[in-house]
Amino acid sequence: MQYLHCLLTSFLCYCLIGCTYAPNELNKAEQLMETSPDSALKVLKQINRNRLFTPSNKALYALLMSQALDKNDIKVESDSLIQIATKYYSSDEAQRAAYAWFYAARVANNSNNAKTQADALFKAQEYADKTDNIRLKGLVYGDKGSMYKTQGKCDSAICYFKRSNQSFLKTDDKRNYIINLLNIGTEYLKLSRFDSVISNYLLAAKAAKSIHDTLLISGVYRALGSLYLKQKAYQQAVYYYNKVPVTKEELYNSNKWFLQANVYVRTGDTDSARYCLHKVKMLLDMAPNYYMLWQQIYEKEGKLRRALIFASKATNAFDSLYNNKLDVSFAGLEKKYKYQSLQIANQQLIIKKKKNDIILLLMLLILSTIMMIGLFWRIKVKKQQFETQQLLLKQEHALVENEKENSALLSKQLKFQSILLLNIEQHRENSIKRPGIWKNNSKQSIAEQNTTFYQELIACMDLEFNNISDRLLNTYEKLTQRDILMCCLLLASFDSGMIATILDVKNDSIIKHRHRLRKKLDLSNSDNLLDFLRQF
């Protein structure tokens, strides 16, 4: 019992120390962030994230780590870390919410996601406007200006850079103020508004002098010199390049001499150019252009052999620079993967806690899915069987009904057809044996006899040839009742002589009638009239 009491006491002490340790380290990192961001990053890396028990500590850690990585120029493209802060902070802590969305925008910019960056900056500005932190507003405006600068929207970029500068002037942040002036001048340069370019560059130079920042002064004068070089105002370009101060950074000093040499080569002053190039001690990215200047000097002096040597050096420098860029890109990838491994380790801790729940949920999901699939399959099979049975019953019923109707119709048709055929056969025999029968009777009896015969004949042919009289009349509107009668007589196998006797006309009239009938039926000379009627 005493052992359990000691164990419980030790556990409570551990939790208490862990709960107080993490916030203290976070506060320390937050205090170091502005003055010494590299030290802040070291402090944050030493924090054991397993001791970050509360959501507030986790959110603050995510915000400070994102801020420290950004200030140490470590580009982060994944937003999984900063999202912890953006999801936690709201209007209750507007300043931290604004910073969270501000660094979320920078992460989006690193991954070239312009839409996400714009949305994040909008939210950052929304929260920043709820605070009294003027510098924070300046940072947000400055990043919005940089975003528009990247998109080539010069007017919008200038507008936000100016709004940012107003904030930096109020907070006396001269460094960011100078950088913004240079950005404004660069945007005016794109618009070819050289007066505005010069005025902003000169303001930047004046401000840089007041803080004695030689690197910024060097950047301003080199920008002015490059502006006049672009305008081919070589004397003024040399004037500002000469004003570039000597710094502790040898690369900046070498760049100053290189820029001056470039102007002298363009003006034909090869001696001055040679003097400046000898002052260059560090080349790096300038190497190809440095050797090209030597090549141009020797070409102007007519020393073509030396010019070829430096042309070869320039080519080799270009190749070397390309390979170095590849190495740098691989180094950047290595940093990225290291940071991603840090994120993966953090995610593994979360996944480890929820692993059993996830497995159980997956098993239940799979089991329920299988059961649902089986149930749906069974219902589908039953439904198909039922539909098939219904279809078979309907088809069977339809067949029975059709057979009944067909048998009744067929019996009637056969009976009627046999009577009609018998009458027609009798008429045919009478026309052969007693051709004068159509003329011996009175006119009234002949007309009645003809009408009855015609009706019986047409009715019989309609039965045998599927209502051929109606179909002929519907298809060929020019046909008369006498034409229909002629067609029926032909179908009933009456030859021309019999037809002439029945119709009481001459054989020539029958021939002409058949000829006119062929025209009405649009038959050619090669078409057989009787075959056409039988196939119609």
How many Å is the maximal CA-CA distance in the chain?
148
Q: What is the pLDDT of residue 206?
A: 83
Residue 101's pLDDT is what? 93
Q: What's the total number of domains in the chain?
A: 2
Task: Indicate which CATH number applies to the domain containing 89.
Answer: 1.25.40
Where does a domain end: 131, 165, 182? 131
What is the spatial distance between Cα 485 and Cα 514, in angstroms, rounded to a whole number? 12
Q: Decide which of 78, 111, 131 is a domain's last residue.
A: 131
* pLDDT tens sequence across 183-205: 898 888 888 888 888 888 888 88
Whether 246 maps to a domain, the answer reads no
Residue 328: per-residue pLDDT? 41
- Asked whether residue 45 is domain-assigned, the answer is yes
Separation of alpha carbons 426 and 453, rounded Å: 11
Query: How much is the pLDDT for 14?
Result: 42
Cβ distance 217 to 208 under 8 Å? yes
Q: Degrees (nearest 5) of the Cα angle 346, 351, 357?
A: 160
Q: 238 lies in a domain? A: no
Which pLDDT score is estimated for 159?
92
The residues, any chain, with a CB within 8 Å of residue 445's CB and separated by 6 or more, are none
Residue 5: the pLDDT is 45
Whether residue 412 is contained in a domain is answered as: no
Residue 502 lies in a domain: yes
The segments of the chain whose pLDDT lies below 50 read: 1-21, 327-339, 342, 345-346, 349, 413, 416-417, 433-442
The pLDDT of residue 201: 85
Where in the sequence is the domain holding 69, given as residue range(s)? Answer: 14-131
Last residue of a domain, one of 94, 110, 131: 131
Residue 506 burial (CB < 10 Å; 0-12/13-18/19+)? Answer: exposed
In-domain check, residue 204: no
29 within some domain: yes
Please indicate, yes or no, if residue 517 is contained in any of the structural domains: yes
